[in-house]
Structure 1
């Protein structure tokens, strides 16, 4: 199964089933490291088990993880900009 790794940084948190992947009846959180951060995190695709078979239940921890990942992306973007300006 192909996972879409695109992100525009303007994602609203009414995500539907975005960042969720079902595997053998179990839900997983799937997040792709943006290309601009590939030197900082070489994993590419990050997956984590949500330990539920319910899509509705999976959405709750996914929302928190998605918000945390967006905060991390924003922080890394600021650090990258600051580093570029001081060079």
Structure 2
């Protein structure tokens, strides 16, 4: 189980996240959330990491036994400097 479920889900809701993976042991904590928030969220209670990964990776394609994820544009962040002045790229969404 995890702590702070109400706060985590309210924060996720404010951030526009609508799909949540939650340990089944925390399912009772959903009673602490306002119904209007729950109505806007898709909560997936899971019992194992395998179940969580299956939900989280839904839509990722498998090719030759390897997961392939969509390409993300790589752009240097503001002031992103590496060792001795090299620029390091960080993935952004």
For the criterion TM > 0.5, the same-fold answer is no
| Larger relative contact order (Cα-Cα within 8 Å, sequence gap ≥ 6) | 1
Q: Which has the larger radius of gyration?
A: 2
